[in-house]
Amino acid sequence: MGLHRFGLILDRPPDRSQAASVVDTHPDLDVRPSRQMVTARRRSPSMAAAVVSAIVDLEAFDLHPARVCADDWVTLADIGERIGRSREMVRQWSTGQQGPGGFPPPVNPGRDTKFYSWTEVALWLRAHRDFYLPRPDGLLVVANLLLQAKRLAPLVRDKQTLTGLLSPYQPGHGVQPPRAREGLTTR
């Protein structure tokens, strides 16, 4: 069992009683009154199991995590800083003026300041620019999306149809996600 460290953002700050109760029962969760950020240091067989169990434990105290701190949204300047290239070079990759094209789209197109998914950009850099970056683990990004889906599910009328978006990629279906087929995760 490994020690997994991560952060969770609650939908509202806990009161003193909730914070004390959580810490008494789960000392691996740093919950403080009036703070929405929870730091977890949890022993578990996997990061996924650690994240899920921490969320379940917090929900038992009527504290609802809204997000997992994934540090996935980055600007072009952030990307340049992470890889030791200029913001301008990264901008040219993003617009197709340089490089092979196919740079991941921003997560917020049409805005003055664009954000990109570091997970997607790192996969692109590994596949198309020969950067030897650690293979990103999309687990925290996916955990965030699942928390968001859970929170917003009551607003969706046709949930069953939407769950079909996941089924082709479930184990046993024999279909790989498009990015895996393109070789983006081979290095």
Beta-strand relationship, 2-10 and 116-117: unpaired
Give every CB contact of residue 100 below 8 A, 6+ residues apart in sequence.
128
* Residue burial 136-168, b: 16+ Cβ < 10 Å; e: rest: bebbbbebbeebeeeeeeeeeeeeeeeeeeeee
> What pTM value is reported for the model?
0.71
Greater confidence, 186 or 4?
A: 4
Please, are residues 58 and 64 in contact by the beta-carbon 8 Å criterion? yes
Please, are residues 187 and 124 in contact by the beta-carbon 8 Å criterion? no
Specify the amino acid at residue 43: R
* Domain ranges within the chain, ordered by starting residue: 2-68, 73-128
42: confidence class by pLDDT, cuts 50, 70, 90 = very high
State whether residue 5 is helix, strand or coil: strand
Distance from chain centroid for Cα 164: 21
pLDDT digits (tens, 9 = 90+) for 9-29: 999 999 999 999 999 999 999
Specify the amino acid at residue 49: A
The answer regarding whether domain 2-68 maps to CATH 2.60.40 reads no
Greater confidence, 45 or 162?
A: 45
Please, are residues 102 and 178 in contact by the beta-carbon 8 Å criterion? no
